[in-house]
Amino acid sequence: MRGLHTLSAMLLARSVGTLATENPVSPRAAAAATFNNPVIWEDHPDLDVFRVGDVFYYSSSTFAYSPGAPVLRSYDLVNWEAVSHSVPELNFGAKYNLNGSGSGYVKGIWASSLRYRPSTDTFHWMGCVESGKTYIWTAPGNGAAQKRGEVSEWTWTNHPPINTCYYDCGILVDDDKDETMYVAYGNPNIRVAQLSKDGLTQVKTQQVYTSSETIEGSRMYKINGTYYILVTRPAYAEYVLKSTSGPFGPYTMKTLVSRINGPLANAGFSHQGGIVNTPDNKWYYVAFMDSYPSGRIPVVAPLTWTADGWPQLVADGSGGWGKSYPIPVQTNKTVASPIGVSTDEFKGTQLSHEWEWNHNPDKTKFRLVEGSGLVLQTADVTTDLFAARNTLTHRIIGPKSTGTFRIDVSKMGDGDRAGMVLFRDRSAYIGVHKDGSTSTVVTVNALTMSEGSWTTTAKGTVAAKGPTVSGGDIWLRIQADITPAFGMTQERTATFSYSTDGKTFTALGPAFAMTNSWTYFTGYRYGVFNFATKALGGEVAVRSFSMQLV
């Protein structure tokens, strides 16, 4: 249960302004003496956390969604906002454009890593994407180290990939004179690569730990002169490798957590992720839970250290991962636009970093228009939503929420399909089908991709027909219950409704059961789409999106 105090804190934080401020009258710091897990009830998997000054940064994986590898920031490890994407365009091959060279569903960005290097004032992102290659993007920090971690503007540049797959990589920027960069990676054996002075090429790589069981998800740290690599035993444990002899080991191993209960039921075991300290050197472990159908959502717990340098989790009274702990940092600095409950009217010149397209979009087919919102022209002629470009997606906040798009459908063309989709490998939507000159509100379910090959096996069945609409605005709403049900046979459901005045909503069609399977990795998302089945030329204007907990 996301605490009410957390929610009100987010809403208060929202009113503070667009930049983080030292606000002397903010009541948030005083109000929130504890926090509740999960800290973000949204799918932000394979996380890497680190801190620059007063700012915690959080990088996560996004598969074929574009832009990829979102960057979140926080001042307290609890309230987060999306500020950038490390990979503005998936430059991993033609299939990520979804225009004739296949699709990248369930490929793309897996566990990757983001760190800041003070001496060069540069953020480095790395990820092994296609087998054999590790992609690199960097962004200048614009003086982040001098500004207590603040970054005024993010500009990402890609570099030639390294021709070695740093599988599930974790970057370490050493605190030695040169700030040497290392990357820990591999499965099941763990290797450490040393990078060149600019951090862009490999100098050497060496196996540092031999494992008889599957371990992966490396995160590398140097703490008080000792090197650590945290690895996960998927999907139930986190191990710590420790070396007092340098980055290349030898490393000895101890278990940090294994099959630890809580903080959520039916969400697997807290594991993977990474550790980070506060400005006053209190340490925390940020893991994730397999919270399907929601995806993988982060949970935080404090750490203590043994005299000989092993981290230990602070469990709750029954030995589990606590639902609640004291807030890591009491601060008056707040994040401006918190993750989750929000309304977006698509103002300005760019989409906010809460949005990701299903693949690289066709940039010639969408634009933000003052007074209209997000205009989506049909980008493909297809009868397959999974093959259509420019479906724009948004993570679903849990445990239960509604998402509502307000869409002007007056410029749809004959044969066009537009609407709001509950997007995953088993999808359903509520939308408008225009055939001839008649636009009909429909719900469509059973849009399905085959598990494993991720190709379309069913393009959907009209489950219910609503009224015809004569153009103008329609509000489309999906209410999704993403309460964890991982490993259960019971499936959570979503329901569909529409409105022509934004006030009175009418249910349409049967509830849709969401799959709890993990194999697609990414959880369900709300999305908006517009594709043509006959000819290009039609468009819709997406005026707003709002998401509310229910």
Amino acid 445 reads: N
362 lines the binding site for ligand NAG (CB under 6 A): yes
Spatial separation of the C-alpha atoms in residues 509 and 464, rounded to whole Å: 5
Using the minimum distance from each CB to ligand NAG, give the nearer residue, 223 or 549: 223
Using the minimum distance from each CB to ligand NAG, give the nearer residue, 100 or 436: 100
Shortest reach from residue 90's CB to ligand NAG, in Å: 10
Longest dimension (CA), the chain: 75
Piece in contact with ligand NAG (CB under 6 A), picked from 92-100, 195-203, 391-399, 418-426: 92-100
Using the minimum distance from each CB to ligand NAG, give the nearer residue, 362 or 414: 362
281 lines the binding site for ligand NAG (CB under 6 A): yes
Piece in contact with ligand NAG (CB under 6 A), picked from 96-104, 210-218, 349-357, 536-544: 96-104
Exactly one of 330, 337, 440, 457 binds ligand NAG (CB under 6 A); which one? 330
Using the minimum distance from each CB to ligand NAG, give the nearer residue, 281 or 489: 281
- Asked if residues 203 and 228 have their Cβ atoms less than 8 Å apart, the reply is no
Shortest reach from residue 403's CB to ligand NAG, in Å: 27
Shortest reach from residue 166's CB to ligand NAG, in Å: 26
Residue window 29-48: x/- pattern of binding to ligand NAG, with contact defined by CB under 6 A: x-------------------
Shortest reach from residue 9's CB to ligand NAG, in Å: 14
- Asked if residues 333 and 150 have their Cβ atoms less than 8 Å apart, the reply is no
Spatial separation of the C-alpha atoms in residues 113 and 57, rounded to whole Å: 11
Spatial separation of the C-alpha atoms in residues 114 and 44, rounded to whole Å: 14
Q: What is the DSSP string of 206-233?
A: EEEE--SS--EEEEEEEETTEEEEEEEE
Piece in contact with ligand NAG (CB under 6 A), picked from 97-105, 141-149, 214-222, 495-503: 97-105
Q: What's the distance, CA 132 to chain centroid?
A: 24
User: Among candidates 343, 443, 360, 355, which has minimal Cα distance to 401?
Assistant: 343
Using the minimum distance from each CB to ligand NAG, give the nearer residue, 173 or 430: 173
Using the minimum distance from each CB to ligand NAG, give the nearer residue, 342 or 390: 390
User: Among candidates 351, 291, 340, which has minimal Cα distance to 522?
Assistant: 291
User: From residue 169, how far is each of 92, 112, 207, 264 by CA, in Å?
Assistant: 17, 6, 14, 27
Residue window 508-547: x/- pattern of binding to ligand NAG, with contact defined by CB under 6 A: ----------------------------------------
User: Among candidates 98, 123, 118, which has minimal Cα distance to 108?
Assistant: 98
349 lines the binding site for ligand NAG (CB under 6 A): no
Exactly one of 164, 332, 500, 517 binds ligand NAG (CB under 6 A); which one? 332
Subset of residues 214 to 243 that bind ligand NAG, contact rule: CB under 6 A? 223-224
Shortest reach from residue 25's CB to ligand NAG, in Å: 7
Using DSSP's 3-state secondary structure scheme, residue 445 falls into strand
Using the minimum distance from each CB to ligand NAG, give the nearer residue, 392 or 482: 392
Subset of residues 446 to 505 that bind ligand NAG, contact rule: CB under 6 A? none
381 lines the binding site for ligand NAG (CB under 6 A): no
How many residues touch ligand NAG (CB under 6 A)? 14
Shortest reach from residue 303's CB to ligand NAG, in Å: 8
Using the minimum distance from each CB to ligand NAG, give the nearer residue, 332 or 493: 332
SS (H, E, C) 149-192: CCCCCCCCEEEEEECCCCCCCEEEECCCCCCCEEEEECCCCEEE
In sequence order, which residues have a C-beta less than 8 Å from that of residue 305 and are 6 or more positions away? 283, 311, 312
Q: What is the DSSP string of 75-120?
A: SSSSS-EEEEEEESS--S-GGGG-SSS---TT-SB-S-EEEEEGGG
Piece in contact with ligand NAG (CB under 6 A), picked from 37-45, 116-124, 157-165, 328-336: 328-336
Tokens of 244: 């007092």
97 lines the binding site for ligand NAG (CB under 6 A): yes
100 lines the binding site for ligand NAG (CB under 6 A): yes
Piece in contact with ligand NAG (CB under 6 A), picked from 235-243, 329-337, 422-430, 433-441: 329-337
- Asked if residues 12 and 27 have their Cβ atoms less than 8 Å apart, the reply is yes
Tokens of 495: 């329901």
Piece in contact with ligand NAG (CB under 6 A), picked from 93-101, 204-212, 339-347, 408-416: 93-101
What count of other Cβ atoms lies within 10 Å of the Cβ of residue 259? 11
Exactly one of 113, 134, 272, 331 binds ligand NAG (CB under 6 A); which one? 331
Spatial separation of the C-alpha atoms in residues 132 and 114, rounded to whole Å: 20
Spatial separation of the C-alpha atoms in residues 26 and 24, rounded to whole Å: 6
391 lines the binding site for ligand NAG (CB under 6 A): no
Side-chain-side CA neighbours of 42 within 13 Å: the count stands at 28
Using the minimum distance from each CB to ligand NAG, give the nearer residue, 154 or 283: 283
Instruction: Provide the binding-site residues for ligand NAG, judged by CB under 6 A.
Output: 24, 29, 97, 99-100, 223-224, 281, 305, 330-332, 360, 362
